Amino acid sequence: MCMVIFAPLFAVFAFALCGGYSGQITVKVECLDKTQSNISISFSYPFRLQQVHFNAPLCEGKRHETLFLEGDYSSSTQFFVTVSVLAFLYSLLATVVYIFYQNKYREKNRGPVLDCLVTVVFSGLWLVSSIAWAKTLSGLKTALDVGQMQLLMSACRDPENLCETLEEPAWTNLNMSVAFGFLNFSLWAGNIWFAYKETGLHKSGQRYPSRTPSEKRSSSFRQYSQSSFDQSGAGFEQRLYSQASFDLSSGSFSLPQTNLGPPMLYRQMGSPTSKGPLIFVNESQ
């Protein structure tokens, strides 16, 4: 949502403040004979100063000289404006696709992947163009310094004449364009993660973690303990069954002992050595 709202808006501010800029310098020249002349020097985007010329009085009769400014600052400036315009157009296109063509955008995951790549590219372009434009603006301010303008005029180099600056260029809009350039870089760079999440590539890279050797040993131990417990339980049942079985050879029958009380032994009446059946009776207290 931030990209939909702020990306086109910040891009418009960036190229409008830079591409629509025009400045002017006005210098008043007062010669020794009290003649006065106001000289206006105008410049604008793309700041090809070598093409800017103006007429300055020589203070020797009514002669004038034609002077040209120095420096060409168009390359970095046009690069910055071009990136701003392209980012603005792409932001509008992406907004239309997000709203009206959501199904086609997510078809086969091509739209999110392309959007992520374009976001990375524009982040780099914003950073490079903003740094280049900031450096160019610094050189432009130096070239258009009022003192530098006066040194170009022969009349101002003569100490007998008086030169006064009436109007200086305002650099506020150009300074703001640089600020919006870095602000756009922060916005696009911060959106890289969200664009990457839209692709779903971070989910495909996740795998289930493999068990460590210690976990495998603990699992094997649990399986072994459970099987041992099952076997011991089966053996215990077998022992109970064997205790409650008939002794065919001796002709006796025995029951498993309980905790109800001490057993009492009763033998068949008659001979003490008779081998009749033995009966265990538990008397509860």
In the chain, what are the domain boundaries?
2-204, 242-285
Tens of pLDDT, residues 180-229: 999 999 999 998 888 888 787 656 544 444 444 455 454 444 554 454 44
pTM of the model: 0.68
Tens of pLDDT, residues 210-223: 444 455 454 444 55
The CA distance from 260 to 277, in Å, is 22
Q: Alpha helix (H) ranges present in 74-212?
A: 74-100, 102-106, 110-143, 146-152, 154-157, 172-190, 192-199, 201-204
Q: Which two tokens stand for residue 270?
A: 């008659």
The CA distance from 127 to 31, in Å, is 49
Tens of pLDDT, residues 3-62: 667 889 999 999 999 999 999 999 999 988 888 889 999 999 999 999 999 999 888 877
Closest-CA residue to 84 (of 174, 170, 172, 185): 185
Closest-CA residue to 155 (of 30, 24, 68, 67): 30
The CA distance from 102 to 113, in Å, is 14
Mean pLDDT (the chain, rounded):
77
